[in-house]
Structure 1
Amino acid sequence: MSIPQRLELRIRAAEQRVADTYGLTITEHRLTLSAPSVQVRVLTAGEGEPLVHINGISAPAMGMAPLIAGLPGFRHILIDLPGHSLAPPYMWQERTVRELAVGVLTGTLDALDIDRAACAGSSLGGLFTLWTMLDAPGRVSRAALVGTPATALPGSRGIAEMASLTSPIRGRLDQSLMQLPSPRFVARFALTEALGANATRAMSDDLLDLHRLPLRLPGQAASYRALLCRLMRGRTPRPENVLTDDELARIGTPALFVWGEHDVFSSPDQARPFVTKIPGARLTVVPGGHNPWFDDAPRCAALVRDFLAEPVRSTTEEGNYRT
Structure 2
Amino acid sequence: MTTQRPAQSPASPTASATAPAAAPLARIVRGGGPGLLLAHGAGGSAADNWGPLLDDLAAHRTVVAPDYPGSGDSPDEPDAPSLDELADRLVAAADEAGLADFDLAGYSLGAAVAVRIATRYPGRVRSLLLLAGVAGGSQRLRVLADQALALAGHPELLANQLLTVGFGRSWVEALPAEQLAELRAALAATPAPAGFRWQFELAARADVRTELAAVTAPTLVISTSEDDLVAPAQHRALAEGIPGARLTELATGHLPMVERLPELRELVLDFLAGPAAG
1:260 corresponds to: 224
Q: Quick one: percent identity of the two aligned structures?
A: 24
Q: How does 1:287-298 map to 2 (within 5 A)?
A: 287-298=251-262
Equivalent of 1:243 in 176, 200, 208 = 208
Deviations 1:152-181 (A, max 9, x none): 244473175522355xxxx4xx44446xxx
2:265 maps to 1:301: yes
Q: For residues 121 and 98 of structure 2, what CA distance do their matches in structure 1 show? A: 16
Q: How many residues align?
A: 257
Shift of the 51–299 alpha-carbon distance from structure 1 to 2, 3 Å rule, reads same
Q: Amino acid of the residue matched to residue 162 of structure 1?
A: A
- Gaps of at least 5 residues in structure 2 are 13-20
2:70 maps to 1:83: yes
Q: Amino acid of the residue matched to residue 36 of structure 2?
A: L
Q: How does 1:1-80 map to 2 (within 5 A)?
A: 26-32=1-7, 33=9, 34-35=11-12, 37-63=22-48, 64-71=50-57, 72-80=59-67
TM-superposed CA distance for 1:42, in Å, is 1.0
Shift of the 165–158 alpha-carbon distance from structure 1 to 2, 3 Å rule, reads same
Asked if the contact 1:38–1:90 (Cα under 8 Å) also holds between the matched residues in 2, the reply is: no
Q: Secondary structure at the match of 1:31?
A: coil
Shift of the 161–212 alpha-carbon distance from structure 1 to 2, 3 Å rule, reads farther
Shift of the 89–210 alpha-carbon distance from structure 1 to 2, 3 Å rule, reads farther
TM-superposed CA distance for 1:111, in Å, is 1.5
Asked if the contact 2:102–2:126 (Cα under 8 Å) also holds between the matched residues in 1, the reply is: yes
Shift of the 51–199 alpha-carbon distance from structure 1 to 2, 3 Å rule, reads farther
1:11 corresponds to: none
2:16 corresponds to: none
Q: For residues 262 and 114 of structure 2, what CA distance do their matches in structure 1 show? A: 23
1:7 corresponds to: none
Q: Secondary structure at the match of 1:252?
A: coil
2:105 corresponds to: 120
TM-superposed CA distance for 1:195, in Å, is 3.0
Root-mean-square deviation over aligned CA pairs: 3.2
Equivalent of 1:196 in 168, 173, 192 = 168
Q: Amino acid of the residue matched to residue 194 of structure 1?
A: G
Equivalent of 2:249 in 268, 279, 285 = 285
2:187 maps to 1:215: no
TM-score (norm 2): 0.78
Q: Secondary structure at the match of 2:248?
A: strand
Deviations 1:171-229 (A, max 9, x none): 4xx44446xxx7xxx775342222335379699x89x979964536xxx1xx3213333
2:209 maps to 1:226: no
Deviations 1:255-290 (A, max 9, x none): 111111111134435643552231131110011011
Shift of the 209–30 alpha-carbon distance from structure 1 to 2, 3 Å rule, reads farther
Q: Amino acid of the residue matched to residue 2 of structure 2?
A: T
2:104 maps to 1:139: no
1:19 corresponds to: none
TM-superposed CA distance for 1:231, in Å, is 4.4
TM-score (norm 1): 0.68
Shift of the 211–112 alpha-carbon distance from structure 1 to 2, 3 Å rule, reads farther
Shift of the 58–286 alpha-carbon distance from structure 1 to 2, 3 Å rule, reads same
Q: Amino acid of the residue matched to residue 281 of structure 1?
A: A
Q: Amino acid of the residue matched to residue 72 of structure 2?
A: S
Q: For residues 124 and 94 of structure 2, what CA distance do their matches in structure 1 show? A: 8
Shift of the 231–123 alpha-carbon distance from structure 1 to 2, 3 Å rule, reads closer
Q: For residues 310 and 161 of structure 1, what CA distance do their matches in structure 2 show? A: 36
